[in-house]
Structure 1
Amino acid sequence: MNRRSVRRLAIVAVTAMAVTAAPCAAAVAAGSTTGDAFYSYNGSAPLSSLAPGTVLKTRTLQYHIEGIATPVTAIQLLYRTTDALGRPAANVTSVVRSITGNHTKAVSYQSFYDSLNPQDGPSRAIAGDVTLGGTIANFESVALSALLLQGYNLVIPDTEGQSADFAAGPEYATNTLDSIRAAINSPLTGMDGGTRFGLMGYSGGSIATDWAAALAPSYAPDVNRKLVGFAEGGVLVDPAHNLKYVNGSLVWSGVIPMALIGVSRSYGIDLTPYMNSYGVQIYNGLQHGSLLDALGHYPGLTWQKIAKPQYANPDSATAFVEAVNRINLGSAPTPTVPGYLAQGNGGVLEGTFANPPGIGTGDGVMVAGDVRALANQYCATGDSAITYEQYNLLSHIGTAPAWALKAASWLNDRFAGKQAPSNCGHIPAGNSLAPEQAVPPS
């Protein structure tokens, strides 16, 4: 399918969703999933005795958008996976079968719901829950409908897991890869060992997409063999650089405490000893916050405003250095499948004016030099084709629709068996992605 056809389908999907969602502002959820027993595993066999990707529970329901039921049917699976510390865990994914009945191709779509509240996960929005933080997952239904119109099966994991471990990339990966395993293992999805998968995600969804592509060869080689490629945009690579880039941003600085909470939660790291009273106040107040609770709510916030004076340099906070190094994609393995990476570089449009030495500019929250470095690293260390595209005039939000159209077209070509393009050798140099080095407190 050519790009014009993809664009036409997307326009049709957007129009249809706009009509369907018109009364959403006044909608009331059909029922809250808070305390929903479906999310809890109560089987007799210990989770540790079950293989990752084992289906634990299944239910079928109508796909909801802002609490309104649609004619689309979703199959939700509770499945066994692995958390950031390697412990067995249970998570939920949602599967929508192809409207054409095609079982040979599927897109694992990783949402950018970006929340510290488990109630904001895509599965809960699909089940009919309406929350402020879940607005993003509902909005993404527009893009998902375009994929359905092209005959794809959809697999939509709750990438952050049931404790909403925001930004914890390795955990995002295991949740995503085991979600694909569960979709294949369930007899209700129509997918089987012959189904091929593409990974797709933007922003927070790119965290899951890239980490899943990187860890698939070691964690899930059975899934890796089924992957046709990964398409991502607005990519988080080295969180230590992002902290310095968004420091003082008018809009995006609120993600600083969100990321600190998510990573410390997933790895059991306590960062509060490094914070002053104001920092602890924000840290405690955002424990269940979503991206919509953070964007623009803390204009001009910096690490220095929330840290104790002796930890004004974040690299002097040993636990912080440990945390960000664990989720630095520059230290992760190179994917063995083709990739399309897109990145905006017009961050001033979203209130981020920083240009730190060695880091440079970005789209307002993600650092363009880091993504270029990652793409170049994949080119140098891997055998698969990599395409990098940079939108110098677009911000993080502005790049999303441009990326979505090209990502869908790129994936279409991979499923069609076309050779993946590559601009390796022509990607501008990026930043160093070396791990952070701890320094003594001042």
Structure 2
Amino acid sequence: MHRIAVGKLATAVATALVVTAVPAATAVAAPSGSSTVTGGDSFYTYDGSKPLSSYAPGAVLKTRTLQYHVVGIPTPVRAIQLLFRTVDAQGRPSAGVTSIVRSPTGDSSKAVSYQSFYDSLNPADSPSRAIAGDVSLGGLIANGESLLLVPLLLSGYNVIIPDSEGQRADFAAGPEYGTNTLDSIRAASRSPETGLDSGTRIGLAGYSGGAIATHWAAVLAPSYAPDVDRRLVGYAEGGLLVDPAHNLKYVSGSSLWAGVAPMAVLGAARSYDIDFTPYLNGYGRQVFEELERGSIVNALGQYPGLTWKKLVKPEYANPNSVPSFIEAVNKLNLGSAATPNAPGFIVQGNGGVFEGTFGNLPGIGTGDGVMVAGDVRALARQYCDKGDASIKYRQYDLLSHVGAAVPWAPAALGWLNDRFAGRTPPSDCGRIPAGNSLAPEVSYAFRNQVMNM
């Protein structure tokens, strides 16, 4: 019966996406957060009498079971949703939400935490809301990703789907993505309704924005969640953001991806309570206001040719002259973070010139249109140099960010299957080409101070 339900989910996903293809195209002008089912849902609010801080990270605060929806259409598959205690980017107690679909086989020994690339500054676009039946423009991505869950379920995995950006939708705030993901796994393992427990082995998977969550979870697990770390069989990801300062330069002026830069700055500012307003010019304030609750759908192709200089006052034309920017990007730079214990499978496209970038940028090189290939190679080599990591790295030189996701999905599933089967992780250490420097950014003020010493 469970396998039949999964088959019906696959049919429902495909049908719903086809049926809604035309309405979705004509709904571009609709607000990203428009909802038809569960707007104002009280499930997302912690309203208990005890202080949230009194609960341990991963503690289950609320539970509900509902039908899994695709673009608002209910399917026969059931999803368990949990409100749980976690922390934000600054370590403050917060409440997160995750969704769990149980294995069709009833096997509780293995689960894959799939991190969505919903990439939004609007909490209404989260995967849990799409699963619950909300319909929003930005949420169409999470709905479409339901197709990626079907192979996992048919392979017998329980699937955990966290709202990795948190309830404020702090886009691109990697550390917060990581804690949300790890505490989601903890909550899923503590809830009697999921069938999972402290012995359930876990695999991590995600592409693009989902790769941010996947990688930061793997990075933070040894220190933040050792109870989860010991159960990790590995992480499989593609299209990874490594050094945000490099990405800002790389997408600058792009016809397609330029709008992602202000989205990332907004997300970082929100997560670390940074006010960027003093640095913005009139147009910059307009763009920030337009994207304050926007999703990747609102940014892609909407700001062709946008650059940092067009957003800020003349005296801040160089990002390194803005201390708040330096503070944020250094906190989000994976090159300065810890090394994961778990083995990794990393895929990166390198054909981004086809998505409107300017190709090879001095000091940065090429990428997939939005992510910098040299940064990803440098990170993989950094892990290899430490001698305690098994890294499988695959670079597609002819594929863009969107294109590389196509071969990544089946390759990631095969790699995870091998890890759960106990096979020795393959390693490309010693064969990964050189990458970029991932050194932290230095502000003008600090640089001048050093030069004058």
- TM-superposed deviation, 1:45: 1.1
User: Are 2:435 and 1:430 aligned?
Assistant: yes
Q: SS of the counterpart of 2:204?
A: strand
TM-score by length of 1: 0.95
Counting only pairs closer than 5 Å after superposition, residues 126-145 of structure 1 correspond to structure 2 as: 126-145=131-150
Q: SS of the counterpart of 2:444?
A: coil
User: Are 2:426 and 1:421 aligned?
Assistant: yes
Q: For the Cα contact (< 8 Å) 2:9–2:76, is it kept in 1?
A: no
**1:157 corresponds to:** 162
**2:18 corresponds to:** 22
Q: SS of the counterpart of 1:360?
A: coil
Q: SS of the counterpart of 1:75?
A: strand
- TM-superposed deviation, 1:273: 1.1
User: What code does the residue aligned with 2:406 have?
Assistant: P
CA distance in 2, matches of 1:382, 1:197: 23
User: What code does the residue aligned with 2:123 have?
Assistant: P
- TM-superposed deviation, 1:230: 0.3
CA distance in 2, matches of 1:199, 1:162: 21
User: Are 2:193 and 1:191 aligned?
Assistant: no
C-alpha distance 70-412 of structure 1, shift in aligned 2 (>3 A): same
User: Are 2:84 and 1:74 aligned?
Assistant: no
User: Are 2:351 and 1:355 aligned?
Assistant: no
**Alignment partner for residue 246 of structure 2, among 218, 241, 244?**
241
- TM-superposed deviation, 1:401: 1.2
Q: For the Cα contact (< 8 Å) 2:16–2:71, is it kept in 1?
A: no
- TM-superposed deviation, 1:349: 1.1
Q: Tell me how large the CA RMSD over aligned residues is.
A: 1.9
**2:342 corresponds to:** 337
CA distance in 1, matches of 2:59, 2:252: 42
CA distance in 2, matches of 1:382, 1:205: 26
Counting only pairs closer than 5 Å after superposition, residues 51-62 of structure 1 correspond to structure 2 as: 51-62=56-67
- TM-superposed deviation, 1:317: 0.7
- Equivalent pairs counted in the alignment come to 433
**Alignment partner for residue 124 of structure 2, among 119, 126, 129?**
119
Structure 1 vs Structure 2: percent identity of aligned residues? Answer: 68
User: What code does the residue aligned with 1:390 have?
Assistant: Q
User: Are 2:214 and 1:218 aligned?
Assistant: no
CA distance in 1, matches of 2:122, 2:363: 34
CA distance in 1, matches of 2:361, 2:44: 43
CA distance in 1, matches of 2:418, 2:9: 21
Deviations 1:403-436 (A, max 9, x none): 1110110000000000000010000000000000
Deviations 1:368-391 (A, max 9, x none): 000000000111125131111100
| Of 142-151 and 362-371, the range deviating more from structure 2 | 142-151
Deviations 1:114-134 (A, max 9, x none): 000000000000000000000
**Alignment partner for residue 152 of structure 2, among 147, 165, 169?**
147
User: What code does the residue aligned with 1:202 have?
Assistant: Y
**Alignment partner for residue 173 of structure 1, among 172, 178, 181?**
178
Runs of 5+ consecutive residues of structure 2 not aligned to the other structure: 1-5, 28-33, 449-453
CA distance in 1, matches of 2:412, 2:79: 24
Q: For the Cα contact (< 8 Å) 2:80–2:100, is it kept in 1?
A: yes
CA distance in 2, matches of 1:276, 1:129: 36
- TM-superposed deviation, 1:146: 1.2
| Of 222-231 and 269-278, the range deviating more from structure 2 | 269-278
CA distance in 2, matches of 1:13, 1:96: 12
User: Are 2:408 and 1:403 aligned?
Assistant: yes
- TM-superposed deviation, 1:14: 6.3
Q: SS of the counterpart of 1:252?
A: coil
Q: For the Cα contact (< 8 Å) 1:33–1:119, is it kept in 2?
A: no
Q: SS of the counterpart of 2:275?
A: coil
**Alignment partner for residue 385 of structure 1, among 373, 380, 390?**
390
**Alignment partner for residue 394 of structure 1, among 386, 394, 399?**
399
- TM-superposed deviation, 1:242: 0.1
**2:451 corresponds to:** none
**1:304 corresponds to:** 309
**1:108 corresponds to:** 113
Runs of 5+ consecutive residues of structure 1 not aligned to the other structure: 1-9
C-alpha distance 175-269 of structure 1, shift in aligned 2 (>3 A): same
**1:203 corresponds to:** 208
User: What code does the residue aligned with 1:39 have?
Assistant: Y
Deviations 1:76-134 (A, max 9, x none): 00000000111000010000000111111100000000000000000000000000000
